[in-house]
Each structure stands twice: as structure tokens, then as C-alpha cells.
């Protein structure tokens, strides 16, 4: 900032007080009286200050000037309190320099004495003056270029080429300019260092149908510091912004794709950088090589100019926005306009497969909430509880046709839709040595597939899914049209917390010989029935299905022990309150109970030395492997259904017969699928 001093002697005409004068204590220099009080005040005009010089001071001295005192105030604030006697030299050195008002402020005096003095004192005398302030010497003053002081104020001015902003302090450059056609653009101050405090806006235009081409030539030098722009060059069109640019490296030239461009150049208030040279010229307008994202053009060219027409088609996996075009539109034509833009333009959106419909299987769920469902995105499925296993594909991808697929197969058609199937043949193993006559008492969760029917006749059944159970045909014969009740999830037949299941359908094997009043039965062949429950059974550790067996040749049990269970008779009792189980082995049919009833290949004989199935166990399960030896890779399978045997249970000579379940696998699956 350059300071220029101008002497002007005239004060504002509104200031009516004298420019200088004297003020003294009453009676000076003859001495002042006791018990007096004197007040005095003067103010300076704007841009001036009032100074006071005390040339004589002789007052009674006291601690903290509590007897006689002279107080000086600046704008009502105490700046000095005096008493005692001081020489002129002492006053000039220590007191007078501080007796000054702010600009346009006031000074006031209060002189007060007490009731007596031990000796005569002459008082005080002071001289006041009004002085102009030189604001240009103020270090906080911010004139960009020149500061001019005058009496009562100051002003700022600028060097040639600059103008003063509205704040009347800052000098800036008038560099708002419009240009048409071709030329070279340099910042103000070129070829030397560019001007500071510049906020330049250059608007470049060319005729319609053409675009502006920009190139930097020569030296490029725009102030930066540690990679951050201090001064900046920015180029804007109606659709894009380039920059800001700074530093020593010139940006590459580029087609603006616009017939009008704004070049913005901003600088701070310091620096000696040299700027830039930017050439601008006109070229026939070109349109970009893409009409809309995710589309392909036909014909394919490296450059498209005004008037060119192309056919636009969405890429594979994308489709036109249904809100803008008809659903069956596969392509549209677009023409390059004089503005450098294509018209018309329709957007291509990725095909959306949507959220998969899981309403048909409420046990199926997505592994991720709100997954992306558009083209190429993936989803994964899971079963809601650990008692089910996913059957079918678990991972799927949204294909270009809007279908979820896995390994090329559609997800939600009837052939490939994944389902949740109950996990079968699993239990919570317990080992007990508490013997019950003829067997052992089961623990809860140990035989979770065991069901009990209490009426119209006591019997057992095996849960084979979350809707179906298997039992002996003779247990439910004659009651197919009735609603029967099965109990599960318990080991106590009187448990009030048992899972109660009501039947929806009872399907007896069509070749089973029904009981006919008055006619003797000839066989228990095909003694098997399917029971469908009216609602899905709530699977848990207490109630879970058993697996169906696999077809095999030869003996069913193949020399190993199996386990039979039920609530039937034990010893002399006709029924058991608690679930019992026993381990059996398979015997040749000749070792089994012999009667007039026909024995077929749909039956096998099994029993034990100390235990056997008995009345009330009919329809219950015989499973392999033996209870306590199962594993995830060796689940329990329903090999037999308690069917018929001797009237006396546990007879070592006459074992019981069991329906061979593996002979009925096709009938079971077909019946369940149809019903």
C-alpha cells in the first residue's frame, strides 16, 4: 500500500468548539478551595482525535488519591487518576502520552477536593488540541494500492488498469469480456505477471452448428502451492466443467462440444506468475459417440457431425425406460443437432428381475435383505430354520431376459424352483442304562419322529415330513373319512404340552385287505397307510421326521440291530404311559409267528431275546441304525412298520412281522405328490 499525504486545514463546519484551549482548576494559580467539584468535557469530530497535555500539577498527595484528585476519562472510561505534585518533565514523560480520545471521541475531566488541606496547593493547568488522524499509517487499513489521507478521513485508489470495488478498498481488474470467432486469450497484465485480485469471465462464442476448439500454447504458469490451486483457470459449458487448472503444466487441448464457452480466471492479491495463452477456434459441431449410456449405435463411426442419424439399441441386459417408450420398442433413431446433442434420447435401464416370489414356500428366504435385482446381480436363498435343508440351487443370477437363473436353469418354474425339505433322521442322542421291562424308556428329543394315536384304537406312526406320517393300515382302517388326532413331540402319553396334529387325509394302500365283518382275514399284506396333516407340523428338536429307506436286495437289516419304539404293552400292561424302545434283529420268516395268515415278501420278521413290539405299538417305527449309533452321514431310516404278530408279546419262539417300507417307496412318493 502506498501512502499519500495531503494537507487540508479546513475542519467540518458542524464542529463548533475551539480547536485548542486551556482548562485549569478553580483559583489557579492562587490555589483551590476545599470541598469543590469541577467537570469538563470536549469531543473531537469524525476523523479527529482530542489530546490533553497537563503542564502543571500540584494537588494534595494521598493514598490512591483519596483526598484531592484529578480524573481523566476517554468516552467515559477512566484513563488516568492524578494527585500530588509532578514536574512538567514528569508529566510529559509518563502521563500526557496516554491522554488521547478515540477517533471522533470525547475527553472529560473531574476535579474534586476534600474538606481541608494542611497547606495551600495551586491545582492544575492543561492544554487541549483537536488533531487530524492519519488513517493511512494504520497497519490494519486495507487499501489494495494507494491510500490518501485528508483532514477527517482517507480514501483508496488503484493503479491504471484496475478499478475500485464497492468496498472502496479493494482494487480489481475489469476483465468481463465477450468474444466471437477465433483468437488468443491471455490474462490481464500479459505479457508480464498477471494482475492480482482478478475475477475474469470471458465468454467465447461461435456460429450455430459449430463448436469451440481450445488449445494452450507457450508457457503455462498459474500460481499453486503444494498441489493446491491458489489462482485458477476454469472452463465451463452448459453441460460440462473443465478444471480448475493451475501449476506449470498446460492442460491438453480439447473439443468443447459447445458453441459457447466461459473461461473463468481468478487470482488472489499477490504473486508474480506469468499466466497462459489460450487459442480458440471454430470447428463443425460433433456429437458424442454415445447417444445414451449402455447402448450401441448403428452405423458405427469415429466421428458424428450435425445431421448424422443413427439407430440406437440397448446393450444386452438393458431395456428402454418403459415410462418413455412403448414396452415393445427395441430401438429408436436419433439425429445429431446443431447444439452437438442427440435428439431424441431415451435412457437404457438394466433389466430388473425383481424380488423373487417366495410366497409358495414360506420356509424359503433371501440371505440378504433388499438385494440388487438388476442384470448380472446375484441372490442367494436359504431355509428359515435349521430343521430344513434347501433342495435345488441356492445361488442365482439375473439374466438378460429378466429371469433368475442358475447354471442356465430358470429359478421359479415348476421344474427348477428350490424348496425347503425337512431334515430327516436326526435326533438328540441320549444313552441310558435304566431298564424298563421289555425295553428302555426314551428321552425327549431321542425319537422325535414317534407319533401316538390314542383313539379310536391305540397305535403309533412315524413322521416322514412336515405334513405326512406313515402308519399301519390296520390302525386307521375304517376311519379314513374322520378327523383323527396324532400326538408328537413328547415321551409322556399324558403330556399336556404335546404337539397336536389333526389329519386332513388318510390314504390306505389300495391293495391292503380291508376287514370285512363276518369274513376271516387272510393276510396283513400291504399293511401301510399315509396320513396327511391339516397343517404343517412345527418342527423342533422334539419333533422331526425320519428318513425313508433305500431300496436294497437281501435281508432288510443285513445282520445289524435296529430299534423299535412305541407306547404299547409292557409285560402284563396293555399300554405304556411313556415311550419305550427296544433293539431287535431280523430273523428268518420260519422263526416268526406261524398262523393261517399269508406271509409275503412285503413283510420281514424281527424280534429280541428280552423285548419285542406289542399291542398298541402297531403302526410305529422300526429304524436303522440302532438307536444311539446314528450320525449326520448315517441318518435314521424307517425300515419297518409294526404290523402283526403273536397275541403274547416277547415270546422268544414267535417274533413279530413288520411292513417292509422299502417296497412302497414309489407308492409313497407318488401319493404325496398327487395329494
The enclosing domain of 439 has a CATH number of 2.40.10.10
Concerning whether 474 is annotated as a catalytic residue, the answer is: yes
Q: Which CATH number does the domain housing residue 393 bear?
A: 2.10.70.10
Q: Which of 25, 406, 618, 643 is catalytic?
A: 618
d(CA 211, CA 260): 8
Is 365:383 a contact under the CB 8 Å cutoff? yes
pLDDT of res. 662: 96
pLDDT of res. 149: 85
* Domain-embedded: residue 413: yes
Q: Which of 567, 587, 535 is nearest to 457 (CA)?
A: 567
Is 604:559 a contact under the CB 8 Å cutoff? no
Tens-digit pLDDT profile for residues 338-393: 888 899 999 999 999 998 888 778 889 999 989 999 999 999 999 999 999 998 88
* Domain-embedded: residue 355: no
Residues 237, 300 within the same domain: no
Concerning whether 432 is annotated as a catalytic residue, the answer is: no
d(CA 393, CA 416): 8
Do the annotations mark residue 116 as ligand-binding? yes
Is 161:149 a contact under the CB 8 Å cutoff? no
* Domain-embedded: residue 241: yes
Do the annotations mark residue 405 as ligand-binding? no
pLDDT of res. 654: 64
| Cell digits of residue 37 | 467539584
Provide the domain limits for residue 262: 175-284
pLDDT of res. 12: 43
Q: Which of 474, 613, 617, 643 is catalytic?
A: 474
* Domain-embedded: residue 357: no
Concerning whether 576 is annotated as a catalytic residue, the answer is: no
Tens-digit pLDDT profile for residues 52-109: 999 999 999 999 999 999 999 999 999 999 999 999 999 999 999 999 999 889 999 9
Residues 324, 219 within the same domain: no
How much is the pTM? 0.58
pLDDT of res. 519: 77
| Cell digits of residue 76 | 467515559
Number of domains, the chain: 5
* Domain-embedded: residue 161: no
Do the annotations mark residue 149 as ligand-binding? yes
| Under-70 pLDDT residues of the chain | 1-17, 139, 322-328, 413-415, 430-439, 517-518, 570-574, 610-613, 647-654
Q: Which of 58, 527, 612, 617 is catalytic?
A: 527
| Cell digits of residue 476 | 386307521
Taking CA atoms, 557 is separated from 438, 479, 515, 551, 602, in Å, by 21, 32, 30, 12, 14
Residues 105, 185 within the same domain: no
Do the annotations mark residue 243 as ligand-binding? no
Amino acid at each position: 500500500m502506498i501512502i499519500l499525504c495531503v494537507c487540508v486545514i479546513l475542519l467540518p463546519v458542524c464542529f463548533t468548539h475551539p480547536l485548542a484551549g486551556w482548562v485549569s482548576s478553580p483559583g489557579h494559580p492562587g490555589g483551590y478551595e476545599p470541598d469543590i467539584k469541577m467537570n469538563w468535557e470536549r469531543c473531537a469530530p469524525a476523523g479527529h482525535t482530542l489530546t490533553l497535555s497537563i503542564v502543571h500539577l500540584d494537588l494534595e498527595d494521598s493514598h490512591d488519591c483519596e483526598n484531592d484528585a484529578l480524573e481523566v476519562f476517554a468516552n467515559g472510561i477512566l484513563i488516568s487518576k492524578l494527585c500530588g505534585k509532578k514536574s512538567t518533565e514528569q508529566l510529559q514523560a509518563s502521563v500526557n502520552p496516554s491522554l488521547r480520545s478515540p477517533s471522533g471521541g470525547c475527553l472529560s475531566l473531574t476535579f474534586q477536593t476534600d474538606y481541608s488541606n494542611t497547606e495551600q496547593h495551586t491545582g492544575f493547568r492543561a492544554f487541549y488540541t483537536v488533531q487530524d488522524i492519519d488513517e493511512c499509517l494504520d497497519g490494519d487499513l486495507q487499501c489494495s494500492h494507494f491510500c490518501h489521507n485528508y483532514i477527517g478521513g482517507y480514501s483508496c485508489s488503484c493503479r491504471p488498469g484496475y478499478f475500485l470495488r464497492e468496498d472502496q478498498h479493494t482494487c480489481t481488474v475489469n476483465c468481463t469480456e465477450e468474444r466471437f470467432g477465433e483468437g488468443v486469450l491471455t490474462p490481464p497484465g500479459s505479457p508480464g505477471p498477471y494482475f492480482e485480485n482478478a475475477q475474469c469471465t470471458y465468454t467465447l462464442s461461435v456460429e450455430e452448428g459449430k463448436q469451440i476448439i481450445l488449445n494452450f500454447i507457450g508457457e503455462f504458469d498459474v500460481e499453486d502451492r503444494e498441489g493446491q490451486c491458489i489462482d485458477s483457470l476454469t472452463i465451463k459449458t452448459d453441460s460440462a466443467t473443465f478444471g480448475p487448472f493451475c501449476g506449470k503444466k498446460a492442460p491438453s487441448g480439447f473439443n468443447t462440444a459447445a458453441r459457447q464457452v466461459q473461461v473463468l480466471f481468478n487470482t488472489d492479491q499477490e504473486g508474480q506468475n506469468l499466466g497462459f495463452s489460450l487459442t480458440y477456434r471454430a470447428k463443425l459441431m460433433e456429437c458424442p459417440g454415445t447417444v445414451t449410456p449402455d447402448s450401441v449405435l448403428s452405423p458405427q463411426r469415429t466421428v458424428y457431425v450435425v445431421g448424422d442419424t443413427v439407430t440406437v439399441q440397448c446393450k444386452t441386459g438393458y431395456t428402454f425406460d418403459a415410462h418413455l417408450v412403448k414396452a415393445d420398442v427395441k430401438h429408436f433413431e436419433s439425429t445429431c443437432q446443431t447444439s452437438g446433442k442427440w435428439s431424441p434420447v431415451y435412457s437404457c435401464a438394466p433389466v430388473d428381475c425383481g424380488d423373487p416370489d417366495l410366497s409358495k414356500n414360506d420356509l424359503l428366504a433371501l440371505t440378504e435383505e433388499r438385494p440388487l435385482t438388476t442384470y448380472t446381480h446375484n441372490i442367494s436363498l436359504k431355509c428359515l430354520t435349521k430343521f430344513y435343508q434347501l433342495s435345488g440351487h441356492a445361488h442365482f443370477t439375473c439374466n438378460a431376459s429378466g429371469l433368475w437363473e442358475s447354471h442356465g436353469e430358470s429359478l421359479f418354474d415348476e421344474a427348477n424352483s428350490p424348496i425347503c425339505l425337512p431334515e430327516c433322521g436326526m435326533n438328540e442322542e441320549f444313552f441310558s442304562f435304566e431298564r424298563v421291562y421289555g425295553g428302555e424308556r426314551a428321552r425327549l428329543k431321542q425319537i422325535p419322529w414317534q407319533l401316538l394315536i390314542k383313539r379310536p384304537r391305540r397305535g403309533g406312526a412315524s413322521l416322514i415330513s412336515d405334513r405326512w406320517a406313515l402308519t399301519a393300515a390296520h390302525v386307521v382302517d375304517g376311519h379314513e373319512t374322520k378327523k383323527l388326532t396324532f400326538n408328537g413331540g413328547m415321551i409322556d402319553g399324558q403330556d399336556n404340552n404335546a404337539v397336536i396334529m389333526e389329519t386332513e387325509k388318510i390314504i390306505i394302500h389300495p391293495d391292503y385287505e380291508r376287514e370285512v365283518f363276518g369274513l376271516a382275514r387272510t393276510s396283513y399284506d400291504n399293511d401301510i397307510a399315509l396320513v396327511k396333516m391339516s397343517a404343517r407340523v412345527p418342527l423342533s428338536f422334539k419333533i422331526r421326521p425320519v428318513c425313508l429307506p433305500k431300496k436294497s436286495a437281501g435281508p432288510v437289516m443285513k445282520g445289524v440291530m435296529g430299534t423299535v419304539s412305541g407306547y404299547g404293552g409292557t409285560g402284563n400292561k396293555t399300554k405304556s404311559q411313556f415311550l419305550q424302545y427296544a433293539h431287535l434283529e431280523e430273523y428268518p420268516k420260519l422263526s416268526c409267528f406261524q398262523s393261517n395268515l399269508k406271509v409275503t415278501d412285503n413283510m420281514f420278521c424281527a424280534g429280541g431275546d428280552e423285548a419285542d413290539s406289542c399291542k398298541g405299538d402297531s403302526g410305529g417305527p422300526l429304524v436303522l441304525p440302532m438307536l444311539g449309533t446314528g450320525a449326520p452321514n448315517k441318518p435314521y431310516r424307517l425300515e419297518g412298520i409294526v404290523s402283526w404278530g403273536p397275541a403274547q408279546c416277547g415270546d422268544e419262539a414267535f417274533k413279530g412281522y413288520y411292513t417292509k417300507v422299502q417296497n412302497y417307496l414309489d407308492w409313497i412318493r407318488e401319493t404325496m405328490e398327487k395329494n
